Homo-oligomer: A and B are copies of this chain.
């Protein structure tokens, strides 16, 4: 197996501050997997877009790309836009294995951590 990459795929937004939690996530993942090329890519409004980022990875000799949709909801962006982007990437970069996993919001541990956070946000302790 050659060089592997993990691309955290997020929506993008107009406000630069929006990306901060995603940058933190990228840094946390990179710190725990130093042998993996970890990067962010966006669907719209922010750079790099996914095709641009995968082209950059290809230029660096990466041959295996896992895309993690950092979305809470699984709507049109994850179910329709992302598969189309992946199809285009596979045509553009036939030498690279490109796969995507489910959205982070579907992961039971992420859901559990969000549940804990919701409960901890209540003004007084639960019995």
The segment from A10-18, A50-58, A87-95 that touches chain B is: A10-18
Tell me which residues from 76 to 127 in chain A have a Cβ below 8 Å from any Cβ of chain B. Answer: 76, 79, 99, 101, 103-107, 109-119, 121-124, 126-127
Residue of B with least CB distance to A103:
B21
Which residues on A are within 8 Å of B, measured CB to CB?
1, 4, 6, 8, 10-11, 13-15, 17-22, 24-25, 28-29, 32-33, 35-36, 38, 64, 66, 68, 70-76, 79, 99, 101, 103-107, 109-119, 121-124, 126-127
**Contact between A73 and B22 (Cβ–Cβ < 8 Å)?**
yes
Closest 9 CB pairs of A and B: A18-B75, A18-B73, A113-B113, A15-B75, A13-B75, A101-B121, A21-B105, A107-B117, A28-B115
